[in-house]
Amino acid sequence: MMESLDQISDFLRQFWGLWLMLLFLGIVWWAYRPRNKGRFQDDAMIPFRDDETGEETKDDGRSS
């Protein structure tokens, strides 16, 4: 049993670079899908939303 686990482990270790490359490419594909563009644009505006509401903030960043 341990011998077969060692063989599987050795086999998977040989392809760690391939696994990481596939993971990276999957993340890039997900990030650049046109379907996500609107969501990411909305998320990019999060830091500016407080300015749009007209709320004043104190020096420590809390709303008054």
Contact assessment for residue 24 and residue 32, using Cβ atoms and an 8 Å cutoff: no
Its domain, for residue 35, covers 18-52
The total domain count for the chain is 1
Nearest to 61 by CA among 52, 12, 51: 51
pLDDT of residue 48: 87
Q: Give the pLDDT of residue 23.
A: 97
Mean pLDDT, range 26-50, rounded to an integer: 92
- Residue pair 18/11 in contact by the 8 Å Cβ criterion: no
Predicted TM-score of the model (pTM):
0.54
For the residues 44-53, what does the mean pLDDT come to? 79
Residue 3 lies in a domain: no
**Any domain includes 4:** no
Question: Is 61 part of a structural domain of the chain?
Answer: no
pLDDT of the residue at 1: 75
Per the domain annotation, does 13 fall within a domain?
Answer: no
Q: 1 lies in a domain?
A: no
